[in-house]
Amino acid sequence: MSNLNAATASIPVAQAEGPRPLGALKRPVDAEDRIAAAVREILTALGENPEREGLRDTPDRVARMYLEVLGGLHQDPRDHLKTQFSADHHHGAVIVKDILFHSMCEHHLLPVHGRAHVAYLPAGGRLTGLSKIARLVEGFARRPQLQERLTDQIAQGMEDILAPEAILVVVEGEHMCMSMRGVRSPGSTTVTTVARGIWASNSAARMEIMALLKG
């Protein structure tokens, strides 16, 4: 069995099938070396010489890059929401707009970038820091992702830790797999939404919050 097949065979079924875990995956101790070796093989398969001056350090650079931009795999972004405040007993909607993110399309391993907008209605006055919501988005974005899954994971993370009365998440993204290859449609934006709690069942309340997100 090849090293690649052996590595694939060692992945637990729980990771290979079904919904992706919200929590952290264990990072292999030799991750950087294995990624660098794979990049060298890609360059060789393309007919390039990975030992020439311009490419000599590229495999190691790419390995470090992947471990950085996909580092959300090895953390639980929900942990950021455990910083909470309730002394002021705020009960109105909290909206954080225009959270910039960069992610990686899991189908082609090409970048996705865009903005996330997150609103929640606190339960029992339970709040989290505004920057913690941005960190939640960043953590889930820094994984091999689908935009639809990213939207759901942000909402689920909020629900798991804050248990608010309502959540609304809107994600707008431009996918380089559509801009650089295939249909080659630069500038196209994909919008995904998810509503939880009373904003899922009350369309008037949901539209009011949606208007604030877009305003």
| pLDDT tens, residue by residue, 42-101 | 999 999 999 999 999 999 999 999 999 999 999 999 999 999 998 888 889 999 999 999
What is the domain-level CATH number for residue 154?
Answer: 3.30.1130.10
Report d(CA 211, CA 77) in Å as an integer. 27
Q: Quick one: CA dihedral 202, 204, 205, 211, positive or negative?
A: positive
Residues 89 and 39 in one domain: no
Active site residue 90: no
User: Domain limits at 118?
Assistant: 78-214
Would you say residue 150 has pLDDT above 50?
Answer: yes
Write down the pLDDT at residue 13: 38
Active site residue 177: yes
Compute the residue count for the chain.
Answer: 215
Tens of pLDDT along 104-124? 999 999 999 999 999 999 999
Residues 62 and 83 in one domain: no
DSSP at 40: H
Residues 15 and 93 in one domain: no
Active site residue 105: yes
Active site residue 153: no
Which residue, of 31, 52, 69, is where some domain finishes?
A: 69
Residues 62 and 119 in one domain: no
Catalytic pick from 75, 145, 147, 156? 147
Active site residue 102: no
Q: What is the DSSP string of 94-138?
A: EEEEEEEEEEEETTT--EEEEEEEEEEE-STT-EE-HHHHHHHHH
Residues 58 and 120 in one domain: no
Residues 193 and 154 in one domain: yes
Catalytic pick from 75, 80, 105, 156? 105
Active site residue 51: no
Residues 127 and 44 in one domain: no
Give me the number of domains the chain comprises: 2
What is the domain-level CATH number for residue 28?
Answer: 1.10.286.10
